[in-house]
Structure 1
């Protein structure tokens, strides 16, 4: 008899400024990443957008002002680089209102890429590559 799985939840933003999409690179793994991150245990029964904005403040700084559509655009499987834990990506559309990104030490690279020309294979891998490709197929 198989047992139920336990999975972490990561909320990721496809953060846009017009036709530009913000992509990041994880400093530890060297793999492509998107703004957002894993939900803490004590955030599960709260409004999940609080978890998103906590992660955005940590990763992009407090000077950035964004709008997040709270309705997920898709759900995808993932393995978290740190510990290789099975994880569920919940993806959201978001747009930049104003402000400047100030990267935390979690990421060592960022770029606003043109969604019509961007090839994610150079930066992203595995399930995150699948998720970004899914997004580009729908929205580019």
Structure 2
């Protein structure tokens, strides 16, 4: 490793189901807080020191619950920095003690966010920390199939995870696949429909019964076939875009916003 490499601890902090992000003073990007790791300092020590320097949380070692680290990766902002993501939970009482006045001059604001709102904040490569820590489980393709101005919406069967939820046809992106290829495959497997990918939308984070997932929406035009559901699905509807918000979904209305 180059001697110019600088190790940085990147803290993904959770409390009461929400995650801490802060707005940088120098450019207004939002980030997981952290900073350079000092010589002879381990990542847990660095995390505690950095958070105490940048906030009024006054953390001690015993405040860090379920501490774990993820694989390091290079900063998108400056590749000489090697980011070392760590994840831990703090009690709600600690979370509630944090104030904007207690921030250092490195940040101007902070938010405790539902992770499904992550895409609403302007970040710079911060998402990678969530993948490296396993906070987000993997990538899922959403097949947003369009026919005569309506979208195919399906209900997950009692035998499936997140049973009873409505969504676009979806499924995990396999190694070597891109989102468009996965959307075509999943649509054919689950509904017997053939459709042509038109456009891939911006990813967002969705939450299901088994945790958080990176959802990759793909707009598709119906080509052929009639809906024939497999065991994973129990019902279907063709819906106008504005009707989707009336259903209990896994956040799929965000996919439609890509093309509204």
**TM-score, length of structure 2 as denominator length:** 0.43
- The CA deviation string for residues 69-103 of structure 1, in whole angstroms up to 9 with x for no partner, is 453123221055xxx46211111111112322232
Alignment of 1:1-140 (within 5 A): 4=2, 6-40=4-38, 44-64=39-59, 66-67=63-64, 69-79=66-76, 84=78, 86-97=80-91, 98-99=93-94, 100-101=97-98, 102-115=102-115, 117-120=116-119, 122-125=121-124, 127-132=125-130, 137-138=136-137, 140=212
**Contact kept? 2:70, 2:132, Cα under 8 Å:** no
Query: Could you say which structure has the greater relative contact order, defined with CA pairs below 8 angstroms and 6 or more residues apart?
Result: 1
Output the CA distance in 2 between the equivalents of 1:114 and 1:123: 15
- Three-state SS of the structure 2 residue aligned to 1:29 is coil
Computing the radius of gyration over CA atoms, which structure comes out larger, 1 or 2?
2
Deviation of 1:123 after TM superposition, in Å, equals 1.9
- Three-state SS of the structure 2 residue aligned to 1:119 is helix
- Three-state SS of the structure 1 residue aligned to 2:129 is helix
Q: Name the CA shift for 1:21/1:70 in 2 (closer, same or farther; >3 Å).
A: closer
Output the CA distance in 2 between the equivalents of 1:73 and 1:134: 5
Gaps of 5+ in 1: none
